[in-house]
C-alpha cells in the first residue's frame, strides 16, 4: 500500500495512506519503523546488545502518527497491507537544540499546585529549535503564551488543565489605536468583530514555526467553571478559546487531545500555513458555541486525520464581519480537510456566517460525517458586504451517516441582533449595495448519505444575489423510514416550515446541476425549485 509522509516533526511523524477508503480502512495494516542508514549503524555500534529493531503498530486509520522519535535522525518506515504487500520510505526528523523539562523549572504536575509560571518560564527560556517538554501529570494553568521557533511536547499522560476563575485570565483588547497614527492594532475578537476577549490556554501572537505535539491533553475545564452559563453575556471580556493563534505562520499541531473549551476550541486568526494532524477535539454536545476548528481570515490551512465531536459546528470557516472586511480585509483561502471524522456537531464543515472578507478554495475529501445536523453548511446574510464572496467549494468522497440535512446553503441566516428584521429576511429582491454578499460555485460529488430526514438539499439564495452554481454529481441518498423521522427546518431562516422527506429545495440559483443523484425513500419526490435560472438534470432518480 502506497503512503505519504504527511508531516515530520523533531520527535514525531504523521503518515497518510493512499487509498479510496474514507477515514478508516476495512482491513488494518501493519506499520513498522526503525532508525535507518548511518544513524542505525552508529547506534548499534554503541549498544551492540540492543540492535536496531523494528517498532510495530497496527491501525485501520488512513492517518497515523508515531511519536517518541529521536531528533535529527533518519528513519525507515514500512507499511504492510492485509495482502502482505510492503511499501517503505525514509525520512529524517527535525533538529532540536535543547530539551527543557518543565519540572526542572518548578512545575509540579500534581493537579493541585498552579504551574503557569513554571511552564511559561520554560517557554521564555527556550532557544530557537528547542523543545519544552511536559511529562505525564496534571498541570493547572491559566493562559500560556507561545514564542517562535519552538516545540511544545505534551507527552502521553500529561494534561494542561485550565483554571476556572475568569478573573485570573488576561484580557486581549479588541482594538488599540497605534500611537500618533490612525492605524489599529487588533488582538481580541468575538464572533467576527474586534472585541475584548480572554486569552486562551495556549495563545500565540505573531509567532512563527511552532509545533505542538504529543499524546497528551489540553483541557479547558469549562464545565467546572461558569464559562457555559449565560454564554452570550459579556463578563469582563468575551469567552476564550483553548488555542488562539493570531497573526501567526507555520504553526502545527499533532496528536494532542483538546477538550472542554469555553468557546471555539481552536481558533486561527489572520494566520497562514497551518497544519492540524491527527488531533482529537471533544466538547459536550450541549456546550454552547464550542466549534472545533475555526480558521478565520487565514490562508493555506490543512486539517488531516482529525476527529471532532463538539457542541456546535465541527469546523467553521470564517473571515469576519463587515467592519473587519472594510478596515482589515483578509479573505480566507486554500483550506484542505481530509480523512477526518466529524461527528455530532451542528454542521460538519460550515462556511460562515462571519465571511465578510470572503472564502475562496475549500476542499473537503475522504471524510466521515456522523450524526451532525448538517453536512455541508453554508450560512451568510445581507449585511455581510460585497467582499463576502464565497467561491470554489468542493466536497468529494464523503460518507454521511445519520445527517438529517446533508447539503444546505442559506443566505437568510438569522444571526446577530438584526437577524429577524425585514432587511435580512425579506424574500423579495432589494437593491444590491455594498452590503450584499454573493455565493459562487459549490460542487459535491461521490457522496453517500444514509439516514436523511428533512431534505437532501436546501439552497436558499437571495433574489438579488442568486447562488452562482450548485453542482451535485454521483450522490446516493437514502432516507429514514417516515415513522422514525423528525420534521426539521433545513436552514435557520424565518418563514420556512419544518419538512420531512423532502428531496431537493432550491431557490434563487443561477445554475443547478444534478447528475447521477439517486434518492430513495423520500416522500416528496418532485424538487421544489423557484428562481432557478438554468437546470441540468441527468440521471436524476427520486423515489
CA gap 261, 52 in Å, rounded = 42
pTM: 0.96
Domain stops at, among 46, 73, 92: 92
Per annotation, catalytic residue among 81, 219, 272, 312: 312
**pLDDT given at position 43:** 60
* Same domain membership, residue 402 and residue 511: yes
Q: Locate cell 423520500: which residue?
A: 522
Domain of residue 269, residue span: 96-294
CA gap 14, 91 in Å, rounded = 11
**Residue 300 maps to a domain:** no
* Contacts (Cβ under 8 Å, ≥6 apart) of 199: 143, 145, 169, 170, 171, 172, 240, 244
Which cell numbers in the block locate residue 332?
480566507
CA distances to 43, 51, 69, 74, 178 from 37, rounded to whole Å, are 10, 13, 15, 7, 55
| CATH classification of the domain holding 81 | 2.60.40.10
**Residue 462 maps to a domain:** yes
Which cell numbers in the block locate residue 436?
450584499
Which cell numbers in the block locate residue 173?
483588547
Which cell numbers in the block locate residue 12?
514525531
Which cell numbers in the block locate residue 328?
482589515
* Same domain membership, residue 327 and residue 233: no
**pLDDT given at position 51:** 58
Nearest to 278 by CA among 69, 1, 13, 10: 13
Per annotation, catalytic residue among 39, 272, 294, 346: 346
* Same domain membership, residue 407 and residue 278: no
> Is residue 312 among the annotated active site residues?
yes
Domain stops at, among 72, 92, 112: 92
> Is residue 360 among the annotated active site residues?
no
**Residue 115 maps to a domain:** yes
Binned average pLDDT, 10 residues per bin, the chain of 543 residues:
95 97 97 85 56 91 97 98 95 98 98 98 98 98 98 98 97 88 89 98 98 98 97 97 98 98 98 98 97 98 98 98 96 98 96 97 98 97 97 98 98 96 97 97 98 97 98 98 94 96 97 97 90 96 90
**pLDDT given at position 207:** 98
* Same domain membership, residue 169 and residue 136: yes
Q: 3-class SS at 94?
A: coil
* Same domain membership, residue 152 and residue 252: yes
- Structural domains in the chain (count): 3
CA distances to 206, 239, 335, 359 from 175, rounded to whole Å, are 16, 17, 27, 24
**409 Cα distance to chain centroid:** 19
Which cell numbers in the block locate residue 450?
444514509
| CATH classification of the domain holding 264 | 2.160.20.10
**Residue 308 maps to a domain:** no
Task: Determine contact, residues 356/321, Cβ cutoff 8 Å.
Answer: yes
Complete DSSP assignment for 446-487: EEEEEEE-SEEEEEE-BTTB-EEEEEEEEEEEEEPPGGG---
* Same domain membership, residue 351 and residue 271: no
**Residue 103 maps to a domain:** yes
CA gap 342, 346 in Å, rounded = 10
* Same domain membership, residue 474 and residue 353: yes
* Same domain membership, residue 233 and residue 170: yes
**Residue 505 maps to a domain:** yes
For the chain, the straight-line distance linking the first and the last C-alpha, in angstroms and rounded, comes to: 40
* Same domain membership, residue 280 and residue 233: yes
**Residue 302 maps to a domain:** no
CB half-sphere exposure, 86, CA atoms < 13 A: 7
Domain stops at, among 294, 322, 342: 294
* Same domain membership, residue 100 and residue 83: no
CA gap 8, 327 in Å, rounded = 38
**Residue 304 maps to a domain:** no
* Same domain membership, residue 63 and residue 143: no
Task: Determine contact, residues 525/481, Cβ cutoff 8 Å.
Answer: no
* Same domain membership, residue 540 and residue 420: yes
Amino acid at each position: 500500500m502506497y503512503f505519504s509522509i504527511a508531516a515530520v516533526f523533531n520527535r514525531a511523524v504523521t503518515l497518510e495512506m493512499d487509498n479510496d477508503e474514507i477515514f478508516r480502512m476495512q482491513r488494518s495494516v501493519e506499520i513498522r519503523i526503525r532508525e535507518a542508514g548511518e544513524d542505525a549503524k552508529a547506534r548499534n555500534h554503541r549498544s551492540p546488545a540492543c540492535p536496531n529493531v523494528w517498532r510495530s503498530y497496527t491501525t485501520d486509520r488512513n492517518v497515523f502518527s508515531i511519536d517518541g522519535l529521536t531528533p535529527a535522525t533518519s528513519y525507515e518506515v514500512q507499511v504492510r497491507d492485509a495482502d502482505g504487500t510492503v511499501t517503505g520510505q525514509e525520512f529524517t526528523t527535525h533538529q532540536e537544540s535543547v530539551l527543557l523539562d518543565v519540572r526542572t523549572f518548578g512545575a509540579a504536575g500534581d493537579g493541585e499546585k498552579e504551574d503557569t509560571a513554571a511552564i511559561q518560564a520554560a517557554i521564555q527560556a527556550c532557544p530557537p529549535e528547542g523543545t519544552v517538554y511536559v511529562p505525564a501529570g496534571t498541570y493547572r494553568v491559566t493562559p500560556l503564551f507561545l514564542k517562535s521557533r519552538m516545540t511544545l511536547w505534551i507527552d502521553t499522560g500529561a494534561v494542561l488543565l485550565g483554571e476556572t476563575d475568569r478573573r485570573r485570565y488576561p484580557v486581549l483588547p479588541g482594538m488599540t489605536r497605534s500611537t500618533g497614527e490612525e492605524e489599529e492594532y487588533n488582538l481580541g475578537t468575538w464572533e467576527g468583530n474586534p472585541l475584548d476577549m480572554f486569552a486562551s490556554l495556549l495563545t500565540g501572537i505573531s509567532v512563527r514555526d511552532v509545533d505542538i505535539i504529543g499524546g497528551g491533553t489540553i483541557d479547558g475545564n469549562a464545565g467546572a467553571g461558569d464559562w457555559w452559563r449565560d454564554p452570550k453575556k459579556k463578563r469582563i471580556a468575551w469567552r476564550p478559546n483553548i488555542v488562539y493563534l493570531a497573526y501567526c505562520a507555520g504553526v502545527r499541531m499533532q496528536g494532542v487531545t483538546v477538550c472542554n473549551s469555553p468557546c471555539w476550541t481552536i481558533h486561527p486568526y489572520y494566520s497562514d500555513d497551518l497544519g492540524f494532524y491527527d488531533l482529537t477535539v471533544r466538547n459536550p454536545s450541549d456546550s454552547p458555541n464550542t466549534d472545533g476548528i475555526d480558521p478565520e481570515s487565514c490562508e493555506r490551512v490543512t486539517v488531516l486525520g482529525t476527529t471532532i465531536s463538539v457542541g456546535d459546528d465541527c469546523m467553521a470557516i470564517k473571515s469576519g464581519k463587515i467592519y473587519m472586511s472594510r478596515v482589515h480585509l483578509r479573505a480566507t483561502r486554500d483550506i484542505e480537510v481530509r480523512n477526518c471524522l466529524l461527528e455530532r456537531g451542528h454542521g460538519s464543515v460550515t462556511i460562515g456566517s462571519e465571511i465578510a472578507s470572503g472564502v475562496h478554495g475549500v476542499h473537503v475529501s475522504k471524510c466521515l460525517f456522523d450524526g451532525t445536523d448538517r453536512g455541508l453548511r453554508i450560512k451568510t446574510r445581507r449585511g455581510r458586504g460585497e467582499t463576502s464572496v464565497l467561491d470554489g467549494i468542493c466536497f468529494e468522497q464523503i460518507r454521511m451517516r445519520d445527517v438529517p440535512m446533508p447539503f444546505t446553503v442559506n443566505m437568510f441566516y438569522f444571526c446577530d441582533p438584526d437577524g429577524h428584521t425585514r432587511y435580512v429576511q425579506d424574500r423579495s429582491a432589494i437593491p444590491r449595495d455594498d452590503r450584499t454578499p454573493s455565493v459562487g460555485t459549490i460542487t459535491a460529488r461521490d457522496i453517500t448519505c444514509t439516514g436523511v430526514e428533512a431534505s437532501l438539499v436546501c439552497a436558499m439564495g437571495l433574489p438579488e444575489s442568486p447562488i452562482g452554481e450548485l453542482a451535485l454529481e454521483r450522490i446516493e441518498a437514502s432516507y429514514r423510514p417516515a415513522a422514525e423521522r423528525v420534521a426539521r427546518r433545513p436552514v435557520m431562516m424565518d418563514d420556512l416550515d419544518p419538512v420531512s422527506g423532502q428531496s431537493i429545495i432550491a431557490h434563487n440559483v443561477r445554475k443547478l446541476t444534478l447528475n447521477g443523484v439517486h434518492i430513495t425513500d423520500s416522500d416528496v419526490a418532485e424538487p421544489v425549485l423557484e428562481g432557478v435560472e438554468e437546470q441540468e438534470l441527468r440521471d436524476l432518480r427520486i423515489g
